Amino acid sequence: MTALKNDRFLRALLKQPVDVTPVWMMRQAGRYLPEYRASRARAGGFMDLCMNAEMACEVTLQPLERYPLDAAILFSDILTIPDAMGLGLYFETGEGPRFRKVVDTAEAIDALPIPDPEKDLGYVMNAVRTIRKELNGRVPLIGFAGSPWTLATYMVEGGSSKDFRKSKALLYDDPQAMHVLLDKLAQSVTSYLNAQILAGAQAVQIFDSWGGSLSSAAYQEFSLAYMQKIVNGLIREHEGRRVPVILFTKGGGLWLESMADTGVEALGIDWTCDMGVARKRVGDKVALQGNMDPTVLYANPTAIEKEVGRILESYGSGPGHIFNLGHGITPEVKPENAGAFINAVHDLSAKYHQG
């Protein structure tokens, strides 16, 4: 087991003292980087990149070669589980992910298998092992999965959706069928994340991208309850240290207290939440990750630094803050602006960690 040279990300997740606020970006290996676009073109397509361990490793490490980031995140996709269930994931140019088969009846849900992570998703575990080896203790590696509700929306809709019409119709018309689907997905995500941890992921994040589309009652019953099942089933100690869990519901600011009660180490929060208010609401129960609006990165470096400073001041002194965007970095961002953001976090945060 290689010792970590930079463990401030893991320390911050556990609310332990750090020298500066750690920072990473959701989608940090992505289309805003010209070297990523070149790798993807060489691979032939997005899933070709995901399924080749060496190339997935290459693009995972690309942002770390450019920037002093405090964590690497596995290069993969949240929709690998539905793909392994036989739905046939593909990517339509300009339209995002699509499935060849949809799951919109109780019969189709009953027929879904629960994937074996090493057998059916072995390419992901190979990527984790390869990346962890290549990192050689440089920074921690984050594994991840989509939340059951988020995965269910793609499976029922056949792809992304603006209004989740089919998913919500199924939820209200046949709640029992939706519960069966979500339970299968919770089992699948739990075994998938545990396999990532055993392969070398040192922290994991659950991406509940579409939980914020639900009513408050529906969120508790159809999203949070299944994330709670996952949290309860995860390996929390590996290689002699805690494996922190981050729960991120986009649009989830209404439910921070309920999310903090799940037993995770940290909550990711989007830019609609004030960081200082969020800290007051959850107290010392969890660390907080976030939460700059990704579109700030379209502005000039001086404006970016100002917003970083505002968020750091809002959180205040002491540990328990991991700086991130409130959602993923967008493809049109200039790489030098991302660099200004990362440097600003480290430069401006030291004063909040003294004494």
- Residue 163 CB contacts under 8 Å (≥ 6 apart), including other chains: none
Half-sphere exposure in the Cβ direction for 51 (13 Å, CA)? 13
Question: The domain containing residue 286 runs over which residues?
Answer: 8-353
Asked if the structure places residue 3 within a domain, the reply is: no
Select which of 66, 77, 116, 138 is catalytic.
77
Q: Can you tell me the distance from the alpha carbon of 62 to that of 19, in angstroms, rounded to the nearest whole number?
A: 25
Asked if the structure places residue 12 within a domain, the reply is: yes
| Residue 208 bears catalytic tag | no
| Residue 242 bears catalytic tag | no
Q: Binding site annotation covers 278?
A: no
| Residue 8 bears catalytic tag | no
Instruction: Give the H/E segment covering residue 213.
Output: none
pLDDT value of residue 92:
74
Q: Binding site annotation covers 122?
A: no
Q: Binding site annotation covers 167?
A: no
Asked if the structure places residue 102 within a domain, the reply is: yes
Q: Can you tell me the distance from the alpha carbon of 23 to that of 21, in angstroms, rounded to the nearest whole number?
A: 7
Spell out the per-residue pLDDT of the chain, length 355, in tens: 678 999 999 999 999 999 999 999 999 999 999 999 999 999 998 999 999 999 999 999 999 999 999 999 999 999 999 999 999 999 877 778 999 999 999 999 999 999 999 999 999 999 999 999 999 999 999 999 999 999 999 999 999 999 999 999 999 999 999 999 999 999 999 999 999 999 999 999 999 999 999 999 999 999 999 999 999 999 999 999 999 999 999 999 999 999 999 999 999 999 999 999 999 999 999 999 999 999 999 999 999 999 999 999 999 999 999 999 999 999 999 999 999 999 999 999 999 999 6
Q: Position 126: which residue type?
A: N
CATH code (residue 228): 3.20.20.210
pLDDT value of residue 1:
61
Q: Binding site annotation covers 39?
A: no
Select which of 7, 8, 11, 27 is catalytic.
27
Give which of 13, 140, 143 is closest to 70, Cα–Cα: 140
**How many structural domains are present in the chain?**
1
| Residue 31 bears catalytic tag | yes
Q: Can you tell me the distance from the alpha carbon of 300 to that of 305, in angstroms, rounded to the nearest whole number?
A: 9
Q: Binding site annotation covers 28?
A: yes
pLDDT value of residue 88:
94
Q: Binding site annotation covers 29?
A: yes
Select which of 32, 36, 67, 154 is catalytic.
154
Asked if the structure places residue 2 within a domain, the reply is: no
Give which of 246, 334, 340, 254 is closest to 290, Cα–Cα: 246
pLDDT value of residue 2:
77
Q: Binding site annotation covers 268?
A: no
Hey, CA dihedral for 59, 14, 349, 281, is it positive or negative? positive
Asked if the structure places residue 137 within a domain, the reply is: yes
| Residue 40 bears catalytic tag | yes
Asked if the structure places residue 1 within a domain, the reply is: no
Select which of 40, 66, 129, 241 is catalytic.
40
Location of structure tokens 């209004």: 163
pLDDT in tens, 250-292: 999 999 999 999 999 999 999 999 999 999 999 999 999 999 9
Asked if the structure places residue 66 within a domain, the reply is: yes
